[in-house]
Structure 1
Amino acid sequence: MTLALLAALVGTVGYGAGSVLQAAATSRASGPAALRHPLYLAGLGCDLVAWLASLVALRHLPLFAVQALLAGSLVVTAVLGRVFLDARLRRRDVAAIGVVTVALVAVAASAGEQAAHRPPSPFTAAVLGGLALCALALLALYPRGRSAALAVVAGAAFSGAALSARVVRVPAAGTPATRVVVDLLTDPLLWVIPVFGLLGLLAYARSLERGAVGPATAVMWTVEVVVPAVVGVALLGDGVRPGWAGVAVAAVLPAVAGCAVLALGPADAPHPATGPAHGVGLS
Structure 2
Amino acid sequence: MIVTYGLANFLQAIAAHKVSEHKSFHPRLLLELAVHRVYLAGIGCQILGFVLAFMARRDLPLFLVQASVAAGIGITAVLGVVFLKWRLPKSEISLLVLLSFGIVALVISAEPSPSDQLTPAAVIALVVILVGLAVAGVFTARLKGVTGSVALGGLAGLAFGAAAVASRPLSNILDVQAFVTDPLLYLMIIYSLTGQLLLALAMQRGSTTAAVASMDAAFAAPAAAVGLLLLGDQIAAGREWLAGVGFLVTLGSVLALTRYAEPQEQQPRETSPRALEPAGTAAPGRVGPPARDSV
- SS of match in other structure, 1:119: coil
Task: Supply the distance in 1 between the matched residues of 2:10 and 2:83 (Cα, whole angstroms).
Answer: 8
Q: 1:215 aligns with which of 210, 214, 223?
A: 210
- The residue type equivalent to 2:67 in the other structure is A
CA–CA distance in 2 between the matches of 1:35 and 1:141? 23
Aligned with 1:256 (options 251, 255, 262): 251
Is the counterpart of residue 82 in structure 1 residue 81 in structure 2?
A: yes
1:24-35 to structure 2, matched below 5 A, reads none
Could you list the per-position Cα deviations for residues 92-123 of structure 1 after superposition, in whole angstroms to 9, with x for gaps in the alignment?
21111011011111111111022452334411
1:195-274 matches, within 5 Å, as 195-265=190-260, 267-268=263-264, 269-272=286-289, 274=290
Contact 1:96 1:262 in 2 (8 A): yes
CA offset digits 1:205-227 (Å, max 9, x no partner): 22222341112101101111101
Alignment of 1:1-283 (within 5 A): 11-22=1-12, 36=35, 38-144=37-143, 146-147=147-148, 148-168=150-170, 170-172=172-174, 180-181=176-177, 183-265=178-260, 267-268=263-264, 269-272=286-289, 274-275=290-291, 278-279=292-293, 281-282=294-295
Q: Judging changes above 3 Å, is the alpha-carbon distance between structure 1 residues 118 and 30 closer, same or farther for their aligned structure 2 residues?
A: closer
Q: Which has the higher contact order (CA 8 A, sep 6+)?
A: 2
The match for 2:279 is none
Contact 1:170–1:184 (Cα < 8 Å) also in 2: no
- TM-score calculated relative to the size of structure 2: 0.80
What is the rounded CA distance, in whole Å, between the counterparts of 1:204 and 1:26 in structure 2? 9
Give the TM-score taking structure 1 as reference length. 0.83
Query: Residues 7 and 79 of structure 2 are in contact (CA less than 8 Å); yes or no, is this contact kept in structure 1?
Result: yes
Q: Is the 8 A contact 2:115 2:168 kept in 1?
A: no
Per-residue deviation at 1:141? 1.4
Residues 58 and 171 in structure 2, CA contact (< 8 A), matched pair in contact too: no
Higher helix share: 1
SS of residue matched to 1:59: coil
Computed over aligned residues only, the root mean square deviation of the Cα atoms, in angstroms, reads 2.4
Q: Structure 1 residue 168: deviation in Å?
A: 2.2
Comparing 105-114 with 201-210, which one deviates more in the overlay?
A: 201-210
> Could you tell me how far 1:271 is from its partner in structure 2?
1.7
- Displaced runs of 4 or more, over 6 A: 24-27, 29-34
Cα distance in 1 for partners of 2:5, 2:171 equals 26
Structure 2: 5+ residue stretches without partners = 21-30, 265-285
Structure 1: 5+ residue stretches without partners: 1-10
**CA, structure 1 residues 128+92, in 2 after alignment: closer, same or farther (shift >3 Å)?**
same
Aligned residue pair count: 260
